[in-house]
Structure formats: structure tokens, C-alpha cells
């Protein structure tokens, strides 16, 4: 009873305060209206403009993955895709137990090119390859994928060690996208050089849980705030004299300057991770293939010209070396089984076919078909 009387008294005092101070009343109502408008704007934005993607969650064995056992729909001007995840947060079905003697198992590991949120699941090169191999070989083929946008060779080795090897794959195809996979030493691993100067992996562990500050929380909760923040940051960067690496972002690796920087350690570290993955796959009884995924910058000349023109005030045409990146990786991978997709992609591009989306530079359906054809030929020839 006393609590009710106190609550009533507090409410009465608040009403008196509003009555005695009209300015406070106007400010309160203005803030209330502003909050309501922000909530309505956020809802409208998500309905009309949001891609509909979800935020990653943290798995103590794997690092950041998609929310497990979840379904959602991606919507962009270029595609609409339904996504589903299994119990470990990867796109696709669960890992089944190997119970058929003549079954062939293929595991794909990689980043957003393997996850492939841009196309329906059945149109991914992962699932397409399984279906076409089954038709050609007349035996059961099971394919699965450990693909997460933003993954790199460090995370991918963690994926294989803590989950992938339970699949008991006959083939493990690691899809490497060099723009994002030239990792540095400031990550969750320890490596040293042996007497021949080659890197040897000593220790690796899952990435640490993200430290999400109040700004991080706001950027996750509000699509409008996130877009406004990114726009403001872009404007700020345009008004600054940025270092070439910051200005070009991942395009830096397509320049002579970037490739020279990568020679110091990054090419060697990528090779170390590929060799380590191969060795572990072979010890588990499988066969390892490194699939080199080219970027749209190298494949589509007209798109490449747009980028070169955009940065022409800072980067001369002679500085660009689009093919040098993957050429160097092929050279480094001299003792690794490699499938370089560039010949197949360039042949299609010369015929006028687009293999990537323009706004979201990942493979479109035609690109996935091209990868499937190349993989099918490669595996049948082994």
C-alpha cells in the first residue's frame, strides 16, 4: 500500500513539474516524437533498403559464424536469396555420418565465395558439383561447405581442425581469394622460420570474442546509424591524404607496390597455411586442392578500367599489375595441387559473359556454373 501511495505521489510530482515548466514539457514531447520517428524510420529502412543479413555470433571452437539453425532472406537490387544454416552456423545441411562404402565426400572450405549468399543453395558450385559428379560417376556423392564471409586461411584451418575433419572427406577444396587471404602475423597464430627460411606453424587458436563497445552495439542495432557512420567515414577519408594502402584497400594487392609489400611475409604465410592444411588433410586420408578464385578486377576489363580511372590521380596506370597477384601465388604453390580458375573465367569473359554481380562483386549464377565446370574436369582427371 505504501508503495502504491509513493508511486502515485511521484507521478503527481512529475505532472506538476511538467505543468509548471512548459519548456520542459515541450522538450519532453519533442524527444518523444523524435524517438518515435527514429523507430519508424528504422523500421521503414529495414523493409525498403536493408539487405536482410544477420550478424555473426561467436563459437568458442570456430570463432565468428552465422547464427546456428537459422533462416533468413537476403534482398538486394541484384538478387533475393533464402539462407539456412545448420547447427554449427554454416550454410547447408548437417554433416552426415559416413555409412556408404562407395560414397565420395568433398568438403569445401573458404570465405564468402564458398558461403555464396548471392545465389540459392542449390545453385552454389558446392551443390552443383555434387549433383553433376553423381550423374557422371554413378555413385553417391556428399558435399558440404565450411564457408563464412570474411574467413581467411587462419580461420579456415581452425574450421578444419575443430569440425571439418569429422566429415571424413575424400577431397578437401580450399577456396582462396587472394585479395583477402594475404594475412599478416598479427593474428591468432604463432609461426617461426626454419633453417631454410620457410615459415612453420607452431600454434593456432580460434579468434577471440569481439569486444563490442557502445558504438559497436549501436552500429549493430541500427541500420540507419551504421549507414550514416560509413557515409561520414567515406567523406572524411576523401578529404584526407591517405596512405596508398588505406586508399586502395584490397585493391592494393593488384599493384606493384602491394605485391612488393606482400613479398616480405604475406605470400610465405599464405603458402604455410596451405601446406599445413594439405598435410593435415592427407594425414586424415583425403586429398587437398587449392582453388584460386580470381577477383572481378582481374577478369572483367571494363570494370578494371573504372577502378583505374577512379584512382588515376594517385596511382599511375603502369603501377597496376592485375595478374601479378595470382601469378605469384601459383609460383609459391609449386608443390601444392592447384586449380587456377583464371583460364576458365577469362574465356567466358571474352565471350561477353559476366561472372560477378556488379554492386556485390561475388559470383553470379553464371560464375558458379563456370566454377562447377572447372572443378568437374579437375576432379575427374585426378
Beta strands (DSSP E) in 98-198 are 104-110, 141-147, 171-176, 189-193
Cell of 368: 558458379
Q: Could you give the CA distance from residue 317 to residue 327 in angstroms, rounded to a whole number? A: 19
| Res 282: pLDDT | 98
| Res 100: pLDDT | 77
| Res 6: pLDDT | 47
> Looking at the domain that runs over 57-380, which CATH code has it been given?
3.40.50.1110
Low-confidence ranges of the chain (pLDDT < 50): 1-6, 45, 237, 239
User: pLDDT by residue (tens digit) across 223-281?
Assistant: 666 666 555 555 554 545 567 888 898 999 999 999 999 999 999 999 999 999 999 99
Q: Cα torsion for 271, 273, 274, 277, to the nearest 10°?
A: 160
DSSP class per residue in 25-50: HHHHHHHHHHHHHHHHHHHHHHHHT-
| Res 5: pLDDT | 40
Cell of 336: 601444392
| Res 98: pLDDT | 82
| Res 38: pLDDT | 61
Report residue 116: phi and psi, to 5°.
55, 55
Closest by CA position to 232, among listed 253, 207, 215, 211:
215
CB burial of 86-103 (b: ≥16 within 10 Å; e: otherwise) equals bebbbbbeebeeeeeeee
Closest by CA position to 191, among listed 269, 263, 114:
269
Q: For the chain, give percent helix, strand, coil, nearest 5.
A: 50, 15, 30
| Res 235: pLDDT | 53
Per-domain boundaries in the chain: 2-48, 57-380
| Res 2: pLDDT | 41
pTM: 0.84
User: pLDDT by residue (tens digit) across 324-340?
Assistant: 999 999 999 999 999 99
Report residue 82: phi and psi, to 5°.
-95, 130
| Res 25: pLDDT | 62
| Res 374: pLDDT | 98
Amino acid at each position: 500500500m505504501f508503495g502504491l501511495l509513493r508511486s502515485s505521489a511521484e507521478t503527481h510530482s512529475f505532472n506538476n513539474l511538467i505543468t509548471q515548466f512548459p519548456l520542459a514539457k515541450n522538450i519532453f514531447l519533442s524527444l518523444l516524437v523524435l524517438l518515435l520517428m527514429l523507430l519508424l524510420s528504422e523500421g521503414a529502412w529495414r523493409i525498403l533498403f536493408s539487405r536482410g543479413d544477420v550478424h555473426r555470433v561467436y563459437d568458442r571452437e570456430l570463432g565468428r559464424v552465422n547464427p546456428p539453425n537459422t533462416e533468413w532472406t537476403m534482398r538486394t537490387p541484384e538478387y533475393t536469396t533464402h539462407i539456412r544454416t545448420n547447427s554449427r552456423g554454416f550454410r547447408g545441411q548437417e554433416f552426415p555420418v559416413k555409412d556408404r562404402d562407395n560414397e565420395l565426400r568433398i568438403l569445401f572450405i573458404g570465405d564468402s565465395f564458398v558461403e555464396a549468399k548471392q545465389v540459392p543453395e542449390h545453385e552454389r558450385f558446392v551443390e552443383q558439383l555434387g549433383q553433376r559428379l553423381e550423374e557422371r560417376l554413378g555413385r553417391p556423392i556428399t558435399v558440404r561447405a565450411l564457408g563464412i564471409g570474411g574467413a581467411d586461411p587462419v580461420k579456415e584451418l581452425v574450421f578444419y581442425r575443430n569440425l571439418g575433419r569429422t566429415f571424413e572427406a575424400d577431397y578437401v577444396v580450399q577456396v582462396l581469394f587472394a585479395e583477402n587471404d594475404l594475412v599478416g602475423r598479427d593474428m591468432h597464430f604463432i609461426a617461426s622460420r626454419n633453417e631454410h627460411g620457410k615459415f612453420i606453424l607452431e600454434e593456432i587458436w580460434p579468434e577471440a570474442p569481439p569486444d563490442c563497445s557502445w558504438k559497436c552495439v549501436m552500429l549493430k542495432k541500427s541500420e540507419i546509424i551504421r549507414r550514416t557512420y560509413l557515409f561520414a567515414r567515406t567523406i572524411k577519408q576523401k578529404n584526407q591524404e591517405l596512405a596508398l594502402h588505406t586508399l586502395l584497400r584490397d585493391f592494393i594487392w593488384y599493384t606493384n607496390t602491394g605485391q612488393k609489400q606482400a613479398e616480405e611475409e604475406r605470400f610465405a604465410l599464405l603458402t604455410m597455411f596451405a601446406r599445413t592444411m594439405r598435410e593435415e588433410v592427407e594425414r586424415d586420408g583425403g586429398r587437398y586442392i587449392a582453388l584460386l578464385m580470381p577477383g572481378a578486377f582481374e577478369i572483367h576489363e571494363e570494370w578494371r578500367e573504372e577502378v583505374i580511372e577512379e584512382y588515376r590521380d594517385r596511382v599511375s596506370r603502369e603501377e597496376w599489375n592485375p595478374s601479378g597477384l595470382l601469378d605469384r601465388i601459383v609460383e609459391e604453390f609449386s608443390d601444392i595441387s592447384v586449380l587456377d580458375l583464371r583460364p576458365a573465367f577469362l574465356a567466358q569473359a571474352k565471350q561477353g559473359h559476366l561472372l560477378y554481380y556488379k554492386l556485390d562483386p561475388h559470383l553470379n549464377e553464371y560464375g558458379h556454373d563456370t566454377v562447377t565446370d572447372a572443378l568437374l574436369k579437375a576432379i575427374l582427371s585426378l
